[in-house]
Chain A
Amino acid sequence: MTTQAAFDPGAAAARATDAILADTLHGAHRGVVVDSPPGAGKSTLVVRAALELADAGRPLMVVAQTNAQVDDLVLRLAEKKPGLPVGRLHSSDTDPYDKALDDLPQVRKSAKAADLTGLPVVISTAAKWAHVKVDEPWRHAIVDEAYQMRSDALLAVAGLFERALFVGDPGQLDPFAIVGSEQWAGLTYDPSGSAVTTLLAHNPELPQHRLPVSWRLPASAAPLVSDAFYPYTPFRSGTGHGDRRLAFAVPSDGSGPDRVIDEAAESGWGLLELPARRTPRTDPEAVRAVATVVRRLLDRGGAATSERSDAPAPLTADRIAVGTAHRDQAAAVRAALVDLGVPEVTVDTANRLQGREYDVTVVLHPLSGRPDATAFHLETGRLCVLTSRHRHACVVVCRAGVSNLLDDYPSTEPVQLGTVVKFPDGWEANHAVLAHLAERRVVWRP
């Protein structure tokens, strides 16, 4: 029996990957589902599976959800195996793909699927694949970010392939529809649900795998994210407590932002708590506090030590990101950062930060300053994305009183018969995160 101390993350991850590839290449089932927690090497797995399928001579189509994801996969494939001819199927809009693909001679780009026939691997978005017609389906497909793909999008492309590997993160944001879809709630093929939900409802016998190790999240973050968002499918960090360090050349000036930065550098988490108050969505004080934390992170000459290199890497603007719930909040933070002279830092909503990775993230809590807790703001995936983008530390900026808000407003969503209830619910996950952050709290009155 192995003890916890003997847990070898590399070996555990390798075992999981081998099992997945065995099922994908030699299994009897038409589909294989892989659940991957944040930063568990999902892209690496997709690239490896694609190369092995190509080596086995099976024509492969890859379905990703956004053009950025498609381009990223093409570049990763090219990096791993420069000789492999790859087809990039794109839309007929202007600038349909990353210009970097033009430097790769083995990548053929076209807006017509017919131009790409015969290539071992063809990659495109689900939206583009939906317009493709074939006489003979592909032998194999890989569906990336399958939990963010809507069931109706899978319906439109599933006729294109015989077998498929579905890879995704069940803890991130669920897909959504801009019109009501209650009339289909409870149906196994609810078109607004996630592709994996539909797939498993109709094919419960499919093998399901799980990547057990997060290489992104530090040892300080993995237990919290795992407990709060993946209570029944726990994972661990690939690195130990001593492996990553964040240090600052300039000492703290004693202000709230500096104290919370030190707390986060020390423990991996920091909560900058502003006085309780009901505010508009673009709460000016909270927005300024977020911008100030970013400014101080840069001013204090941060250096990040990790397993990736021996020498500490400087904490530069491209290694920091700010996450918000709403687009107008992101716009307000961007404007505040421009005022403080740091325009280069990425500021985006949870939806757009999915799949990205930074050293330090600063998060404006979705429930900060709100009078109510709506389903949107409680959504587990939103908080999960925001609190799982960092390799070193995460600073959350929030008004006091969110736990009272959670207790005052129990969930009022109507119960739908036949739907799979998602655990944990947003209420529970929010409480779990807040309880942990409360120990890392810095109270500040700006």
Chain B
Amino acid sequence: MSLISTLARLEAVATGHAQPAATVRHRHLSDRPLVFVPLTTAGEAGAPLGALLGTDRDAPRLLVVPQPRDRDLRFAFLAELADVVLPYVDGYAEAVEAAERTETDPETGKRVKVEAELCADAPQLIVPSRAGIDFVRLLGRSMRFRRTAEQDPETPYPAPPRVPLLGRWLTHVGERARVPGSALLLAMTDVLARHWATGQSSLEDQHLGALLAWIAPPDDEPGTEAALRAELARDAQGQLLCPPAGPATDPAFDNRLLAPAIERYDRARTAFAAAEDGLEADDRLGALTAAEREIRDLVLSRTLPTWQKVWQGLDLLRALPAGAHIEERWTRDRWSFTGHRDRITAGEPPQPRRDDAVTAAGKLAAREREQARLEAQEALDDPLVMAGRRLSGEAFAGEVTDVVMAYSESRRPSPRPLITVRTGDRPHLAERVRVYRSLSGKPQAAEFVERAGDDLIVLRIVDKMGRGKTPEEGSVPDKGDPVCFTLFEHEQRGGAKLPDPEQTPWTHGGPPGEAVLPEADPMTAEDLL
């Protein structure tokens, strides 16, 4: 944890209110996000209990699996989920704009620009917490290798149509969520915790109720107390007043409310199946419907508070002005969405279970680049984030006190002006360290020359001054100008070109071989569900 966030947390404890950790919003928020509040069954990984989802905060759609261990009911749930999510995703696939993309020409091996389609906007899924992102991945993993009856008439448990496709999309957004700064799938707790520092630990910040209690406590109550109540307060029946954001549910809810309700449902279903005539069946269907309704009400009662909190979080975030670079990062999300849309249209197989060596290395390199880019962009967009970097010696701000013109010692001397900056910051500068400042959106580099005093730093500007002997207008700061230099680079270089997967070298096991369409997981004796 950086020094400034430690200070902000201490201040939050002292004042009882969350402190801003950002002055602008650092993540793109869609005008029409799809909020998804899933619940899972305790002890059954990948067995959904239900979900509340939709794009209209006043009209969420409730999906429930009354008996989570029943495979048919689970498939019915997933089919309904696909009916909500896929039309939403498809709604962004049509509107496109012309764009350029750099590709490697297969014949010459050179990087060339090609015209391409880019979706004008992209879908955005919002889940309450980080565990929700893992659950999205798990759902995607459980669905994408399924076969529909149409794809494989022999499959013992055919999946409803479009369920495998939903699995591919959930896998895609789940994988994209690992890219720093991406916004196709966001966890509300993560985004809120990026923008506010609370007086609790970052582990406690993953509780959406407690986190909001610090940021926007009801009736201005101290955050400590409001958060404690959100975490612990129970009603007369022993149920949490603020149900956990899921997907896991509170054990007291499971044991006292859900388990008996599911048992009643099971009994009603058995009774219905055993009905001997129409009249009896009618009666028992009524009981079955009532039992199902009871479970639906229970699931709604645990998801609706979280649903409202997610929308409250969105309100809070939308009140912040957008950071200057989020549009650029969102464009990369749109490229990611367009790319996957194209892969599906082209009939490519679902994402493999495991990345091959080249794909894994490529992803890691891309994410490291995005992480560095995100850190730099957040600092450039937000003086409060920059203050944190200044405090940790990675940047310094101050006033130019002197400008001396100087030239490089080459045959064609170019301007290398020396500027002196007075600053109260204490950057970790060593000999000839490069520093950068933003000059109308482009980084200008300078070299550290010496410290001319306790608070005076002499720099030599080395680029972005044009080609002439005199620097271009405005490219060198004047005496009295405020400047802010960073020790980190503002832009990231492209990484090394990795070999094609078919060219995987002997050190990494050689080429992976023919791609085979992965089968769905086989049934084993342990698969009782």
Decide yes or no whether B239 CB sits under 8 A from chain A.
Answer: no
Docked CA distance A327–B503 (Å): 40
State which residues 312-332 of A face B: CB under 8 Å: 327-328, 331
Q: Given A127-B496, A179-B180, A187-B354, A327 and B360 touching (CB < 8 A)?
A: no
Q: Given A127-B496, A328-B393, A155 and B361 touching (CB < 8 A)?
A: yes
Determine the residue in chain A with the shortest Cβ distance to B179.
A179
Q: Which residues of A contact B367 (CB under 8 A)?
A: 179
In angstroms, how far is the closest chain B Cβ from the Cβ of A314? 26
Decide yes or no whether B355 CB sits under 8 A from chain A.
Answer: yes
Q: Which residues of B contact A156 (CB under 8 A)?
A: 361, 496-499
Identify the stretch in B213-221, B342-350, B476-484, B506-514 within 8 Å (CB) of chain A at 4 or more residues. Answer: B506-514
Q: Which residues of A contact B499 (CB under 8 A)?
A: 155-156, 159
In angstroms, how far is the closest chain A Cβ from the Cβ of B118? 26
Docked CA distance A370–B499 (Å): 44
Q: Using an 8 Å CB-CB cutoff, how does the interface string of B406-434 with A read, 1 for contact, 0 for none?
A: 00000000000000000000001000100
Q: B505 touching A159 by the CB < 8 A rule? A: yes
Q: Which residues of B contact A11 (CB under 8 A)?
A: none
Decide yes or no whether A177 CB sits under 8 A from chain B.
Answer: yes
Q: B505 touching A177 by the CB < 8 A rule? A: no
Q: B509 touching A188 by the CB < 8 A rule? A: yes
Decide yes or no whether A85 CB sits under 8 A from chain B.
Answer: no
Decide yes or no whether A104 CB sits under 8 A from chain B.
Answer: no
Q: Given A131-B497, A180-B178, A187-B354, A31 and B507 touching (CB < 8 A)?
A: yes
Q: List 28 A-B contacts (CB under 8 A).
A: A31-B507, A130-B495, A131-B497, A152-B498, A155-B508, A158-B506, A158-B508, A159-B499, A159-B505, A178-B371, A178-B372, A179-B178, A179-B367, A180-B178, A183-B355, A184-B355, A184-B364, A187-B360, A188-B509, A190-B360, A191-B357, A191-B360, A191-B365, A192-B364, A195-B507, A198-B507, A202-B507, A203-B507
Q: Which residues of B contact A255 (CB under 8 A)?
A: none
Given contacts A127-B496, A179-B178, A187-B360, 20 further A-B contacts (CB under 8 A): A130-B496, A131-B496, A155-B498, A155-B505, A158-B505, A158-B507, A159-B499, A177-B364, A179-B180, A179-B371, A180-B178, A187-B354, A189-B357, A191-B361, A191-B364, A191-B365, A199-B507, A327-B428, A328-B392, A331-B393
Q: Given A156-B498, A178-B368, A190-B360, A95 and B505 touching (CB < 8 A)?
A: no
Q: Using an 8 Å CB-CB cutoff, how does the interface string of B160-181 with A read, 1 for contact, 0 for none?
A: 0000000000000000001010
Docked CA distance A178–B371 (Å): 8
- From B354, B358, B360, B368, name the one whose CB has the most chain A CB atoms within 10 angstroms: B360
Docked CA distance A130–B361 (Å): 13
Q: Which residues of A contact B365 (CB under 8 A)?
A: 152, 191
In angstroms, how far is the closest chain A Cβ from the Cβ of B424? 16
State which residues 134-176 of B face A: CB under 8 Å: none
Q: Which of A95, A181, A189, A331 contacts B508 (CB 8 A)?
A: A189
Docked CA distance A154–B360 (Å): 13
Q: Using an 8 Å CB-CB cutoff, how does the interface string of B357-398 with A read, 1 for contact, 0 for none?
A: 110110111011011100000000000000000001100000
Determine the residue in chain A with the shortest Cβ distance to B361.
A152
Determine the residue in chain B with the shortest Cβ distance to A127.
B496
- From B368, B372, B462, B507, name the one whose CB has the most chain A CB atoms within 10 angstroms: B507
Decide yes or no whether A430 CB sits under 8 A from chain B.
Answer: no
Q: Given A30-B506, A156-B498, A179 and B364 touching (CB < 8 A)?
A: yes
Q: Which residues of A contact B364 (CB under 8 A)?
A: 152, 177, 179, 181, 184, 191-192
State which residues 196-211 of A face B: CB under 8 Å: 198-199, 202-203
Decide yes or no whether A387 CB sits under 8 A from chain B.
Answer: no
Q: B371 touching A203 by the CB < 8 A rule? A: no
Q: B506 touching A151 by the CB < 8 A rule? A: no
Docked CA distance A164–B364 (Å): 25
State which residues 125-173 of A face B: CB under 8 Å: 127, 130-131, 133, 151-152, 154-156, 158-159
Q: Using an 8 Å CB-CB cutoff, how does the interface string of A26-61 with B read, 1 for contact, 0 for none?
A: 000011000000000000000000000000000000
Q: B368 touching A331 by the CB < 8 A rule? A: no
In angstroms, how far is the closest chain A Cβ from the Cβ of B171? 12
Q: Which residues of A contact B509 (CB under 8 A)?
A: 188-189, 202
Q: Which residues of A contact B498 (CB under 8 A)?
A: 152, 155-156
Q: A189 touching B393 by the CB < 8 A rule? A: no
In angstroms, how far is the closest chain B Cβ from the Cβ of A414? 13
Determine the residue in chain B with the shortest Cβ distance to A93.
B434
In angstroms, how far is the closest chain B Cβ from the Cβ of A247? 34
Closest 10 A/B residue pairs (Cβ): A130-B496, A158-B505, A152-B361, A189-B357, A191-B361, A202-B509, A158-B507, A179-B367, A191-B364, A156-B496
In angstroms, how far is the closest chain B Cβ from the Cβ of A74? 21
In angstroms, how far is the closest chain A Cβ from the Cβ of B479? 27
Q: Which residues of A contact B354 (CB under 8 A)?
A: 187
Q: Which residues of B contact A331 (CB under 8 A)?
A: 393, 428
Determine the residue in chain B with the shortest Cβ distance to A158.
B505
Docked CA distance A131–B508 (Å): 19
Q: B357 touching A155 by the CB < 8 A rule? A: yes
Docked CA distance A130–B495 (Å): 9
Q: Which residues of B contact A202 (CB under 8 A)?
A: 506-510
Determine the residue in chain A with the shortest Cβ distance to B462.
A94
Docked CA distance A195–B503 (Å): 18
In angstroms, how far is the closest chain B Cβ from the Cβ of A344? 13
Q: Which residues of A contact B357 (CB under 8 A)?
A: 155, 189, 191
Q: Given A159-B503, A189-B509, A203-B507, A177 and B368 touching (CB < 8 A)?
A: yes
Determine the residue in chain B with the shortest Cβ distance to A156.
B496
Docked CA distance A189–B510 (Å): 11
In angstroms, how far is the closest chain A Cβ from the Cβ of B373? 12
Docked CA distance A176–B367 (Å): 13
Determine the residue in chain A with the shortest Cβ distance to B392.
A328
Docked CA distance A189–B364 (Å): 12
Q: Which residues of B contact A181 (CB under 8 A)?
A: 364
Determine the residue in chain A with the shortest Cβ distance to B512.
A189
Q: Which residues of B contact A127 (CB under 8 A)?
A: 496
Docked CA distance A180–B360 (Å): 12
Q: Which residues of B contact A203 (CB under 8 A)?
A: 506-507
In angstroms, how far is the closest chain B Cβ from the Cβ of A376? 13
Docked CA distance A159–B363 (Å): 20
Docked CA distance A151–B365 (Å): 12
Q: Which residues of B contact A187 (CB under 8 A)?
A: 354-355, 360
Q: Which residues of B contact A180 (CB under 8 A)?
A: 178
Q: Which residues of B contact A133 (CB under 8 A)?
A: 109
Q: A151 touching B361 by the CB < 8 A rule? A: yes
Q: Which of B368, B495, B507 contacts A154 (CB 8 A)?
A: B507
In angstroms, how far is the closest chain B Cβ from the Cβ of A360? 23
Determine the residue in chain B with the shortest Cβ distance to A195.
B507
Q: Which residues of A contact B392 (CB under 8 A)?
A: 328
In angstroms, how far is the closest chain A Cβ from the Cβ of B8? 16
Docked CA distance A130–B365 (Å): 13
Q: Which residues of A contact B370 (CB under 8 A)?
A: 179
In angstroms, how far is the closest chain A Cβ from the Cβ of B160? 28
In angstroms, how far is the closest chain B Cβ from the Cβ of A332? 11
Determine the residue in chain B with the shortest Cβ distance to A189.
B357
Q: Which residues of A contact B506 (CB under 8 A)?
A: 30, 158, 202-203
Q: Which residues of A contact B504 (CB under 8 A)?
A: 155
Q: Which residues of B contact A188 (CB under 8 A)?
A: 509
Q: Which residues of A contact B432 (CB under 8 A)?
A: 95
Q: Using an 8 Å CB-CB cutoff, how does the interface string of A93-132 with B read, 1 for contact, 0 for none?
A: 0110000000000000000000000000000000100110
Q: Which of A94, A179, A327 contacts B368 (CB 8 A)?
A: A179
In angstroms, how far is the closest chain B Cβ from the Cβ of A394? 25
Docked CA distance A30–B180 (Å): 38
Determine the residue in chain A with the shortest Cβ distance to B354.
A187
Q: Which residues of B contact A178 (CB under 8 A)?
A: 368, 371-372
In angstroms, how far is the closest chain B Cβ from the Cβ of A191? 4
Docked CA distance A127–B365 (Å): 12
Determine the residue in chain A with the shortest Cβ distance to B375.
A178
- From A127, A154, A180, A183, name the one whose CB has the most chain B CB atoms within 10 angstroms: A183
Docked CA distance A176–B523 (Å): 38
Q: Which residues of A contact B497 (CB under 8 A)?
A: 130-131, 156
